[in-house]
Amino acid sequence: MYAIVEIAGQQFKVEKDQKVFVHRLQVEEGENVEFDKVLLIDNEGEVVVGTPNVEGAKVSAKVLSHLKGDKVIVFKKKRRKGYKKKNGHRQFLSQIQIEAINA
C-alpha cells in the first residue's frame, strides 16, 4: 500500500515505515503529525484518485529529527565584465517516518 501525499508544498510517494526528508516542519522532534492532502492511494491494485484530494484519507507520521541539507554553491559570472558572485545555501529539512496510511 502506498499513497501520494502533499507535504510542505511538495508531493511524495510514501509507504508505511518509510523515512522521508521534507522541508522543515514547525513541529517538535518526536511529535506526531498528520497530512490530509492525500492525492492518491493504491491498496494492492485498487487505486483511488482524489479530485483533488481523497476524502477522509490521512497519512500520519512521526518527526524524527531536524537537520540541514548539503551545501549548494550558487556562482554567477558575466564574462569580460569583472562580475562574479558566489553564494551558498543550506536547506532546513525535517526527517519523518510514515507510521500509517488511513484510507
Residue 35 identity (one-letter amino acid): F
* CB contact burial 50-77 (16+ within 10 A = b; e otherwise): eeeebeebbbebbbeeeeeeeeeeeeee
pTM of whole model > 0.95? no
Task: Tell me the pLDDT of the chain averaged across its residues.
Answer: 96
Low-confidence residues of the chain: pLDDT under 50: none
pLDDT at 103: 82
Residues 41 and 53: beta-carbon distance below 8 Å: no
Residue 54 has a pLDDT of 94
